[in-house]
Amino acid sequence: MSYETLLTELSEGVATITVNRPSAMNAMTTVTLRELDDAVRTMNAAKEVRAIIITGAGEKAFIAGGDIALLRDMGPLEARELAQLAQGLCSAIEQGGTPVIAAVNGYALGGGCELAMSCDIRIAAETARFGQPEVNIGILPGFGGSQRLPRLVGKGRALEMILTGDMIDAQEAYRIGLVNRVVPAAELMATARELARKLAAKSPLALRLCKEAVMNGVEMELTQACRYEAELFAVSFGTEDQKEGMSAFLEKRPARFTGA
């Protein structure tokens, strides 16, 4: 795939999407959001893609938010359309069956932090910084940050970040549960690729069902959520991957999952 603001790569079942605007700290424009949405949906639909990594070009930024020059002259209707576009992208990441890893190599601010939060797993370089600084420019998070952040780190900590607009470093992000792990910057992409290849070796159908169980069930009442899990559990027993996985276990050999 060829894009104006993205680089894409596919290797060993792992697709890597790189936001490629390093001179602008990878700040997102409408074009970037539309291209990310297209890339994520296309890769979710491709059988050869078993895991996705999203990262930013250069060493300074993952995505340093939205492009303020673009945002400054927007009216309310344009702002709503932009928020809906970005929220659709984040939903596509969450609801798509393919696991998505955010490899956060630098500043993840505003929309960049919101995009990272929609990913299934977040790995941060030691140099990464996170924040929802929208209040500092007279607005609030619009790409889902006011909703995903409290679900990840709790209401009190989320409100502190959102109301102050202050940034936190990678270790603090790890401490409060915003990221899964922190690694030296030089090891970030190797760590993300190793994890992505591990995921790519699993049953894609099982991974899809796991994501559905967590993403949809977490908002349900517990009894209802457990019934939902039981239904998905039953679905998994109608797949060739289930037969292959259990046969491989009993035969003490690696499983060869096909996604059927």
Are 15 and 38 in contact by the 8 Å Cβ rule? The answer is no
What is the length of the chain? 260
Tens digit of each residue's pLDDT (9 = 90 or more) over 128-159:
999 999 999 999 999 999 999 999 999 999 99
Q: What is the pTM of this model?
A: 0.94
Range with lowest mean pLDDT among 63-72, 99-108, 124-133, 202-211? 63-72
- Mean pLDDT value across residues 80-108: 96
Question: Same topology for domains 6-200 and 204-250, yes or no?
Answer: no
User: For tokens 């340093």, what's the residue?
Assistant: 64
- Mean pLDDT value across residues 70-79: 92
On the 0-12 / 13-18 / 19+ scale of CB atoms within 10 A, 53 is: buried
**Please, where are the H alpha helices in the chain?**
30-45, 68-71, 76-95, 111-118, 145-153, 155-164, 170-175, 188-200, 204-217, 222-236, 240-250
Determine which one of 114, 160, 219, 244 is catalytic: 114
pLDDT at 19: 97
Determine which one of 4, 48, 94, 134 is catalytic: 134
The Cα–Cα gap between 50 and 204 comes to 7
The Cα–Cα gap between 130 and 133 comes to 9
Say yes or no to pLDDT of 1 above 80.
Answer: no
Q: 204-250 adopts what CATH topology?
A: Lyase 2-enoyl-coa Hydratase; Chain  A, domain 2 (1.10.12)
User: For tokens 């809906």, what's the residue?
Assistant: 84
Partners of 19 in the beta sheet? 6, 56
Q: Is 114 a catalytic residue?
A: yes
The one-character DSSP state at 186 is G
Tens digit of each residue's pLDDT (9 = 90 or more) over 204-235:
999 999 999 999 999 899 999 999 999 999 99
Are 146 and 90 in contact by the 8 Å Cβ rule? The answer is no
pLDDT at 70: 84
Arithmetic mean of pLDDT over the chain: 96
Q: Is 78 a catalytic residue?
A: no
Say yes or no to pLDDT of 71 above 90.
Answer: no
The Cα–Cα gap between 66 and 211 comes to 28
Count of other CB atoms within 10 angstroms of residue 77 = 8
Are 131 and 113 in contact by the 8 Å Cβ rule? The answer is yes
Q: In the chain, where are the structural domains located?
A: 6-200, 204-250
CATH (one of 3.30.70.890, 1.10.1070.20, 3.90.226.10, 3.90.550.10) for 6-200: 3.90.226.10
